[in-house]
Amino acid sequence: MPRRDYYEILDVPRTAGLDDIKRAFRKAALNHHPDKNPGDSAAEARFKEALEAYEVLSEPEKRERYDRFGHDGLRGMATHDYGSFDSIFDAFGDIFGDGIFGSIFGSSRRQGRPGQFRGASLRVTLEIDFLESAVGVERKIALKRAESCDECIGTGAKPGTRPATCSACGGGGEIVQTHGFFSMRVTCHVCEGRGEVITARCSACGGAGRVQKKREITVKIPPGIQDGTRMRVAGEGEAGSDPRLRGDLYCDIFVKPHEFFERHNNDVLCEVPVAFTQAALGAEIEVPTIDGKAKLEIPKGTEDGHVFTLKGAGMPDVHNGRRGNQLIRLVIDVPRTLTNKQEELLREYATTEKTSVRPRKKGIIEKLKDYLGTL
Ligand SMILES: [Zn+2]
Ligand SMILES: [Zn+2]
């Protein structure tokens, strides 16, 4: 499925400023928000699409790359992973830390134990060469992600101060709401269920407990990985409320097509041209394999399209390393031009075969002479 243009998704012109983008995103998010459209998977998809568009267009570096190179320009750059809804809600704190979202989402943001939350997962697209996919490769990814603040060790409280018990819920993290006959317990909106509030904010993180930091991560891509594979690197997403609750990093791997090789499951297909004389008389030829050159014996009288199998010369299976085969399809190359000597020999050969061949074609100069003679 072709990916939609981010400007089109948010319905803004390409020249739109950051404020216009924020406004447009807020509108789209309100329309498609899952709380407003329960069970509507199309709305959910549009909501995620709008989030992704907003993340790219609101960050100058990503927007510039997108403007210049489109979706491909974002390869190798980490974005939040919107695949699971949990992580969307967890990601809000970081992406929408400027508060444009606070009022929309309220307390639906946090799940699990009060005050605990998992860090957002990140997603990155990596492109590797065909031959790299055969032997495995390491890629370094530079990304910005939320990390626990060193200054306050993630508490958000100014060093030397302690958070105070929340006065709204008395420290329980929940309050009772009454609607007519019913009363229900909901997460306290003052402390977001933590049971405590920060009295003096940490100046390094503004009380969030987390800060954006640049990180370089080395991702090991195993041999035999298939094009389009999503790899999960556990714990390399953003920091959560505690070190065990880090998000994950998802790497979408794209394998660039190769000039000669094509992968089918774990087999590698390739076409090799040979001269028709080699096919007719037999020959030993050199063929490319993913390990380098190999010799291939072509028996006398091999037909066009014949497939040879090099056992065990295919791709390794990404799970068990067992290699597939290489399949080599012969393509007989018919010469487009012949020297006079070659043509003479072939005509002589043809008479032995008793096949009818076309008489020698006249060249354009001879044709022109003939035509002039008729005038
Ligand atoms: Zn801090
Ligand atoms: Zn509270």
Domains of the chain, first to last? 262-333 (2.60.260.20), 340-374 (no CATH)
Tell me the ligand closest to 171's alpha carbon: 2
Tens-digit pLDDT profile for residues 129-183:
999 999 999 999 888 888 999 998 888 889 888 888 999 999 888 888 877 777 7
Distance 164 CA to ligand 1 centre (A): 16
Distance 92 CA to ligand 1 centre (A): 18
Question: Is residue 361 predicted with pLDDT exceeding 60?
Answer: no
Distance 92 CA to ligand 2 centre (A): 20
Distance 163 CA to ligand 1 centre (A): 13
**CA of residue 65 relative to chain centroid, distance:** 16
Tens-digit pLDDT profile for residues 276-303:
889 999 999 888 899 988 899 999 999 8
Q: What pLDDT, on the 0 to 100 scale, is given for residue 324?
A: 96
Average pLDDT over residues 91-103: 40
Tell me the ligand closest to 195's alpha carbon: 2
Distance 201 CA to ligand 1 centre (A): 8
Q: What pLDDT, on the 0 to 100 scale, is given for residue 363?
A: 57
Tens-digit pLDDT profile for residues 179-200:
777 778 888 888 878 888 888 9
Distance 194 CA to ligand 2 centre (A): 7
Average pLDDT over residues 115-132: 86
Tell me the ligand closest to 186's alpha carbon: 2
Distance 164 CA to ligand 2 centre (A): 10
pLDDT band at 66 (very low <50, low <70, confident <90, very high): very high
Residues ≥6 apart with Cβ < 8 Å to 273: 330, 331, 332, 333
**CA of residue 205 relative to chain centroid, distance:** 31
Distance 59 CA to ligand 1 centre (A): 23
Tell me the ligand closest to 202's alpha carbon: 1
Distance 102 CA to ligand 2 centre (A): 16
Q: What percent of the chain has pLDDT over 70?
A: 84
Tens-digit pLDDT profile for residues 21-55:
988 988 888 888 777 777 788 888 888 888 889 88
Tell me the ligand closest to 206's alpha carbon: 1
Distance 176 CA to ligand 2 centre (A): 11
Mean pLDDT of all residues belonging to the chain: 82
Distance 205 CA to ligand 1 centre (A): 4
Q: Where are the beta strands (DSSP E) in the chain?
A: 78-80, 122-128, 137-148, 164-165, 174-179, 182-187, 196-197, 210-221, 229-233, 249-255, 262-264, 267-275, 283-289, 292-298, 307-310, 326-333
Q: How many residues would you count in the chain?
A: 375
Q: What pLDDT, on the 0 to 100 scale, is given for residue 260?
A: 86
Tell me the ligand closest to 210's alpha carbon: 1
Residues ≥6 apart with Cβ < 8 Å to 123: 78, 79, 80, 81, 83, 249, 250, 251, 252
Strand 267-275 vs strand 326-333: parallel, antiparallel, or unpaired? parallel
d(CA 236, CA 105): 26
Tell me the ligand closest to 150's alpha carbon: 1
Question: Could you give the strand order of the β-sheet that contains 307-310, starting from the edge strand earlier in sequence?
Answer: 262-264, 267-275, 326-333, 307-310
